[in-house]
Structure 1
Amino acid sequence: MRRTNLLAAALIAPLLLLILGSFLVPVGLTLFRAVADREVVATLPETSAILAGWDGEGLPPEAAFAALAREAGAALQARRIGDLAQRLNFERTGLRTALLRVARAADRLAAPHAQSLPALDARWGERETWLLLQRAGGPTTALYLLRAMDATRTPQGEVRALPVEERLYRTLFLRTLGISLLVTALCVLLAYPVAAAIAGLRPPWSAVALTLVLIPFWSSVLVRSTAWFVLLQREGPVNGALQALGMLEAPVQMLGTRFAVVLALVHVLLPFAILPMHSVMKGLDGTFLRAAASLGANGPQRFLRVWLPLSLPGVLAGGAMVFLLSVGMYTAPALVGGDRDQMVAWFIANFMNRDVNWGMAAALSAYLLAMTGAMVGLVRVLTGGVAQAGLRG
């Protein structure tokens, strides 16, 4: 028995190492970026050490001003000041300019630096600026996690909500959740009768029907989303067909709308709902339905009391798969959606590729991961309860 267990462990080990190295470790390191705060201490180590001993009253000692001027100038010459400037400016707009002014004038600044730095930029004479710099000394921060929930920390350390005009991400998560739930519901409703019909077919027609379901997988998501971009244009085939049928008098704007996003996502994700449902329905024993009929159950009763509860595992699997894919979808909303229809994935990509702000990208990813996990867990609990209730009935 022990030898068999060792052999099984040896066979499983490569798969576990692959999962660990290609998924768990990269995801874990990425999520750690949501709380990592190393820019200040890496670029201004002496300044950070001095501020660590500052009591926060008044202004820091002259040594902190002098160290900041010296280290900022050295960082500019070594071209290492970009990450620091971006980190400080993200927490307080304008600190990038203040820092670069000090770095460029470092060789010309004369003692006492506690006077020459504020003369160069008044923000260095403010206690709040130095408190921010002290708090950014790391090694961890809640800044990105707070911003991803439309909150911030004041220079005094209090957590407060951002002004109404600056709030964005709570609405973004609600929008992503709403679109994903709508797409999931539509895919489940459309996929269920299709999966049931395919499960009732006999070879070779069942194979033909499954092939038709799998055909969309032969092209990429980008190609299918681009096709909807062409179809939904004002002068595209959809508007033309609706006008020819007399349903529209003039072309309507479809691109850049929530309707276009939902339509494209349903088209892309529908096969992911059909296949799990078909797999479960294909294995259901028809004798249960015949037994229910022999006991006097009519068609709707047989469906609600027998077929639906037995097929719910497939509905759960298909719905969960569609939901997980839709919350992280980037391509379709980016191509056919407008500014008010972009989902969390678009903002994550934007922070990574354009703003190069890995902290915010990681924070949004962490919340997205938590949201999907909670929703899938909730659906499993609710669906499991419904299935058990149905079987008991």
Structure 2
Amino acid sequence: MKYEAISAGALDESQTIGTPSTNNSLKMQLRRAERWNRTRAFLLVVPLLLFVGVTFIMPIMDMLHRSIHDPLIVDHLPKTVAALESWDRQQIPEDTTYAVLAQELVSLHKQRDLAKVAGRLNTEFSGMRSLLSKSARGLARLNAGAGLESAADTREAMIRIDARWSDIQPWAAIKNLNSRYTLSYYLAALDMHYDVSGDISAQPERRQIYKALLIKTFAMSALITVLCLLLGYPLAHLLATLPESRSNLLMIMVLLPFWTSLLVRTTSWIVLLQTEGVINDVLISIGLISERIRMVHNLFGTVIAMTHILLPFMVLPLYSVMKNISPSYMRAARSLGAKPAYAFIHIYLPQTLPGIGAGAILTFILSIGFYITPALVGGRSGQMISNFIAYHMQTSLNWGLAAALGGILLGMVLLLYFVYNRLIGINSLKVG
């Protein structure tokens, strides 16, 4: 009887604990269920990933590729590029190189592809457009009359057509573009270029545009960010400390610009700031000024309009942080003898740093990419780098330079994110 009782107890215990094979089976089923849950979650996110990839990542990758990909000269002047491969840049090339270039220029002239090649080379060396066009027409007439019999004759004919072919600069411009991938667009975006010897040097002062424009863009963005912070910080503090009924009403006033078209807000500032506008009329009527002030189509108008448009992007992150700060901290500091200014600087302000950082980075990044407001309100002196990117995309059709300028802006934004992550941390980013 005792043996049977012990056996029955052991059987019940084995049924309760389970055999090793049963435990392994349960673990496998659990892992399978978890794997299926992860797969299902990933499949639900796939449409969003595809959308982001097609509309965001792929255009950026295409832009970065265009900024370094420049196959035009290699594709249209392959024999000339090959002939210049061993050229030492010390003296004019050999006669055979002249003959090869003449043959390809005449061919491009007949195929009506010379304009593209001449335009690209003209960005490297001023005057190449007229030089190539003039030379192609002259060589085509000589070939029609069978006036060229040797490479030496071709060289002499090209120099007679235009004396610049006796200089090494046109040849150096062609050799500088002897690769499908080049940094010439980025150099141009920084007001530099490859010189006659193939070294990197600064552009002539009269052709330096983009470096000063980039500095101006970042300086304007920094100024607008500071102005938004100075105006938005007390407003966000007021929203966070007022009773909920009043703060909600003020929050509607802050969000009201989001419900109005950007174009409408921009043109409204033109009406307000123009010489015959409302602000000038008011200032003259109250006697503060005797002559009308020009406040539009300049840098001042751009800063004012952009500060108004970007102010909510500073207020919302600050409000989201300030709303979660308990007022008991300030009361405790005051009860311990701290003065209001000391308590604010050492107690309240450090707790709002995540909101300051989030608002500053949002405002700064949005401002460096603004296009419509500087174009309408800024005029010539108030334009930013984004306006020149649009010019090269739509008017000059120099997409490589536009992509290089965009790549520089992208690099600066990534650097800003890196600095923000090191100082404050991306995980503390709060936008509302």
Query: What is the TM-score with the length of structure 1 in the denominator?
Result: 0.90
Determine whether 1:344 maps to 2:385.
yes
Task: Say which SS state the counterpart of residue 160 (structure 2) adopts.
Answer: helix
Relative to 1, partners in 2 of residues 1:268 and 1:131: Cα closer, same or farther, differing over 3 Å?
same
Q: Which moved more, 1:374-383 or 1:217-226?
A: 374-383
Alignment check: 8 A CA contact 2:89 2:196 kept: no
**2:132 matched residue in structure 1:** 99
Choose which of 292, 301, 305 in structure 1 pairs with 2:346.
Answer: 305
Task: Say which SS state the counterpart of residue 341 (structure 1) adopts.
Answer: coil
Choose which of 214, 232, 246 in structure 2 pairs with 1:191.
Answer: 232
**2:22 matched residue in structure 1:** none
Shift of 1:326: 0.9
Query: What is the TM-score with the length of structure 2 in the denominator?
Result: 0.82
Relative to 1, partners in 2 of residues 1:73 and 1:263: Cα closer, same or farther, differing over 3 Å?
same
State the alpha-carbon separation in 2 of the partners of residues 271 and 147 from structure 1.
36
Q: Which moved more, 1:52-61 or 1:28-37?
A: 52-61
Shift of 1:359: 1.9
* Residues 148-227 of structure 1 aligned to structure 2 (within 5 Å): 148-227=189-268
Which amino acid is the alignment partner of residue 283 of structure 1?
A: N
State the alpha-carbon separation in 1 of the partners of residues 170 and 203 from structure 2.
18
**1:353 matched residue in structure 2:** 394
**1:5 matched residue in structure 2:** 38
**2:98 matched residue in structure 1:** 65
**2:294 matched residue in structure 1:** 253
**2:270 matched residue in structure 1:** 229
Task: Say which SS state the counterpart of residue 235 (structure 1) adopts.
Answer: coil
**1:28 matched residue in structure 2:** 61
Which amino acid is the alignment partner of residue 104 of structure 2?
A: E
Deviations 1:159-202 (A, max 9, x none): 22223333222221221121111110010111111111112233
State the alpha-carbon separation in 2 of the partners of residues 163 and 129 from structure 1.
17
**2:372 matched residue in structure 1:** 331
Choose which of 132, 138, 144 in structure 1 pairs with 2:185.
Answer: 144
State the alpha-carbon separation in 2 of the partners of residues 288 and 17 from structure 1.
47
Alignment check: 8 A CA contact 1:37 1:137 kept: no
State the alpha-carbon separation in 2 of the partners of residues 262 and 97 from structure 1.
41
Relative to 1, partners in 2 of residues 1:18 and 1:78: Cα closer, same or farther, differing over 3 Å?
same
Which amino acid is the alignment partner of residue 157 of structure 1?
A: G
Shift of 1:376: 4.3
Q: Which moved more, 1:363-372 or 1:285-294?
A: 285-294
**1:47 matched residue in structure 2:** 80
Shift of 1:79: 3.0
Alignment check: 8 A CA contact 1:316 1:380 kept: no
**1:125 matched residue in structure 2:** 166
Alignment check: 8 A CA contact 1:198 1:209 kept: yes
**2:404 matched residue in structure 1:** 363
Alignment check: 8 A CA contact 2:98 2:155 kept: yes
Deviations 1:18-77 (A, max 9, x none): 222211221122122222221111222232233234454543344433332333233333
State the alpha-carbon separation in 2 of the partners of residues 145 and 63 from structure 1.
33
State the alpha-carbon separation in 2 of the partners of residues 336 and 202 from structure 1.
38
User: Between Structure 1 and Structure 2, how many residues are aligned?
Assistant: 385
Task: Say which SS state the counterpart of residue 211 (structure 2) adopts.
Answer: helix
Which amino acid is the alignment partner of residue 197 of structure 2?
A: Q
Which amino acid is the alignment partner of residue 191 of structure 1?
A: G
Shift of 1:204: 3.4
Alignment check: 8 A CA contact 2:390 2:402 kept: yes
Which amino acid is the alignment partner of residue 303 of structure 1?
A: F
Shift of 1:324: 0.5
Choose which of 2, 7, 14 in structure 1 pairs with 2:47.
Answer: 14
Task: Say which SS state the counterpart of residue 160 (structure 1) adopts.
Answer: strand
**1:288 matched residue in structure 2:** 329
**2:113 matched residue in structure 1:** 80
Deviations 1:319-363 (A, max 9, x none): 111100111112222222243332111111112222111122122
**2:415 matched residue in structure 1:** 374
**2:13 matched residue in structure 1:** none
Which amino acid is the alignment partner of residue 42 of structure 1?
A: D
Q: Which moved more, 1:243-252 or 1:215-224?
A: 215-224
Deviations 1:117-162 (A, max 9, x none): 2222222232332232122121122222222222222111122222
Task: Say which SS state the counterpart of residue 84 (structure 2) adopts.
Answer: helix
Task: Say which SS state the counterpart of residue 201 (structure 2) adopts.
Answer: strand
**1:390 matched residue in structure 2:** none
Q: Which moved more, 1:355-364 or 1:239-248?
A: 355-364
Task: Say which SS state the counterpart of residue 85 (structure 1) adopts.
Answer: helix
Which amino acid is the alignment partner of residue 349 of structure 2?
A: L
**Runs of at least 5 residues in structure 1 that lack an aligned partner in the other structure:** 388-393
State the alpha-carbon separation in 2 of the partners of residues 324 and 306 from structure 1.
29
Which amino acid is the alignment partner of residue 312 of structure 1?
A: L
State the alpha-carbon separation in 1 of the partners of residues 191 and 140 from structure 2.
40
Q: Percent identity?
A: 38
Task: Say which SS state the counterpart of residue 381 (structure 2) adopts.
Answer: helix
Which amino acid is the alignment partner of residue 288 of structure 2?
A: M
Shift of 1:287: 3.9
Alignment check: 8 A CA contact 2:63 2:407 kept: no
Task: Say which SS state the counterpart of residue 141 (structure 2) adopts.
Answer: coil
Task: Say which SS state the counterpart of residue 362 (structure 1) adopts.
Answer: helix
Alignment check: 8 A CA contact 2:89 2:197 kept: no
Choose which of 287, 293, 303 in structure 2 pairs with 1:262.
Answer: 303
Shift of 1:305: 2.6
Shift of 1:224: 1.3
**Runs of at least 5 residues in structure 2 that lack an aligned partner in the other structure:** 1-33, 143-147
Relative to 1, partners in 2 of residues 1:305 and 1:95: Cα closer, same or farther, differing over 3 Å?
same
Which amino acid is the alignment partner of residue 16 of structure 1?
A: L
Q: Which protein has the larger Cα radius of gyration, Structure 1 or Structure 2? A: 2
Alignment check: 8 A CA contact 1:73 1:105 kept: no
Task: Say which SS state the counterpart of residue 352 (structure 2) adopts.
Answer: helix
State the alpha-carbon separation in 2 of the partners of residues 300 and 55 from structure 1.
70
